[in-house]
Structures are given as structure tokens and as C-alpha cells.
A and B are shown apart, each in its own frame.
Chain A
Amino acid sequence: MSKVYVGCVVVALLALVAVPAMATPVTEAEASADVSLTIEEYCEIAYSGTTFSITLSGGASGGSDNHSYSAGANFSAEITGSFTKPPTPSPAPGTWDWKLENDTKSVTFGPGTHPGSVTVSVEGVELGDGNGEWTGGDMTITVQAAPT
């Protein structure tokens, strides 16, 4: 008899506790999701002209040509270059060099756009080198991730 009584009391207490909890209306709910945007690295670079042309006249021993370029990158970037002097019909005479707008061979910038210039020069041409036209050289500028 006492077990029955205790059982009834326990059930009653559980009901008193449980009923208010179940009776709460749920009139609002929310759910969330993460949103991510991944922007991949992108860069571009281009000369405003296509040909470096140096003409030595009047017995000059050197000269230069300059072209501007425009670069852009959405990361921290470095501009460098490589140069090949005109090889045709024979390696061009003189001492050749190139430089960027800051008188060095590399420039860092970005993220963003960067206008600059490249100068190609030759010096030390002697009269004994003769005259003629040498072609086929190239000046390449490259934009890439800046070294960290």
C-alpha cells in the first residue's frame, strides 16, 4: 500500500514539473549558415606600347627607350623583368641593361593597381661595331606574388 502511495506521489510530482515545460509555445525560431566568399589571386600587367626601339645616330655610343606599363594585383605583388638583347643577325653590340621606374629591377605594390615604366638602354657602342639593324630582342616584365 505504501509503495502505491509513493508511486502516486512521484507521478504527481513529475506531472507538475513536466506539464509547464511542455506548455511553452514556440512562436519564433531561427537557423544560421556560414557564408564564405573566396576570391582567388589575380594579377595583370601590360605595356602601353609594343616595341622598344633605339636608334644611335651621329656616332653616338649609347641610347635608350622607355615605355610605360600598367600592373594590377589583388594581393601584394612584385614586378620583375628579364631582358634579351637583339640577337639577329648577330648579337647586338654594346652593353645592354634595363631598369624599372625606381632605377632597380624590382618593384613591389598592391593590392591595387600600379603604373610604372621600363627603360631599356645600350651603351659602349663603338664605331668599329659598324652599322645596321639588330632585331629579335625582348623585354619581359612579370608580376607575381611578392616574396614574404
Chain B
Amino acid sequence: MQKLVTTFTAAAALLAVWLPSAAPQGSAQDVASVALSIEKYVSVTLDHHALVMTTVDGTWWGVTKKTLASTLVDVEANTDARLEAPLTVELKDTVAYPATADICIIGENLSYGQDESSQWVDLPAGNHPNAVTVQVKIDKQWGPEDVAGTYMGTVTLEVRER
């Protein structure tokens, strides 16, 4: 009896090892679908986080001159996108600066169809490093109303699906 049990146990063990590799009796299949969903994504990054403008000397008084600062902009989007900037930025010290700074977006690549200053630029889906330049500009006749000091403001660029 003991021998029979031992033999049966050994046979069961062998069967357990053999079964997974045993040839199927016929065949069977099951299919699961595979899907990939890429959601829309847009991103904008400014190369410089500070745009600094400085008047230089007294020759500015009574003279119309520009003072400006600019930064390159990187745009990433997997959909057609539009980059927009506000028209102006207000500057303030202890009091508001009497003039606003104009903002314009300048396309660096004519293939974007944008070769002039604008408040927006359309970009096709893709990675666009240094695609455009954002320029902050004050163009005025300088005088005593331009009180000495440092005036601060913020320019915010938006990119959105087009």
C-alpha cells in the first residue's frame, strides 16, 4: 500500500511537470484590443524670467528713443497652437509709471507665416525651441516726467490649442 501511494504520488508529480508543456488538444485564442490615447498638450517656456530695460544717459531728455528688452520663447504642442501676449504691460514703482510698455511677438521663422510684430503667432504642432521672440518696448520722448527709479511689471504669455 505504501509503495502504491508512493508511486501514485510520483506519477502525479510527473504529470504536474509535464502538463504545462503538453501539446494542446486542438487550439484556442483570445484577443484583447490595444489602444493608445495621446491627450492634447501645449507648453510655453521663456528663456529669460526677467526683462530689464535701462535708460542710459541724459541725452534721452527731449529725444524720442526706444528702450527694449526681449526673450526667446519655447513652445511645445502636439496640436496646432496659438501663442498670445498682452498688448501692454503696466509698470509700477511707488507710483505707476506714466507710460505703458508695448509688447510684441516677433516670429523668428518665416515658415510660421509671421514676419511682423504681432500680439500672437500661430504654430503648427511640434517642438518649437526659440520659435519666437517676445519684446517689451518703450518708445517715447523722454523727459522729466520719467522720474528716476525702478518700475516693475509682469508679462504673461499664453499658449492654447488653435
Contacts and interface: CB of A to CB of B under 8 A. Distances in A.
B125 interface: no
For the residues of A in contact with B, the DSSP-based class is strand
A74 B160 CA distance: 42
Interface stretch (A56-64, A108-116, A126-134): A108-116
Contacts of A26: 39-43
Contact of B154 (A24, A32, A40, A43): A32
B45 to A, nearest CB: 6
Contacts, number: 140
For the residues of B in contact with A, the DSSP-based class is strand
B149 interface: yes
B144 interface: yes
Contacts of A113: 144
Contacts of B157: 30-32
Contacts of B54: 37-40
Given A30-B159, A32-B156, A39 B148 contact: yes
A39 B42 contact: no
6 closest cross-chain pairs (CB), A and B = A27-B161, A25-B39, A25-B40, A41-B148, A35-B153, A32-B156
Interface of A: 22-44, 72-75, 110-113
Interface of B: 37, 39-46, 48-58, 60-61, 67, 69, 71, 73, 79, 89, 91, 97, 101, 134, 136, 138, 143-161
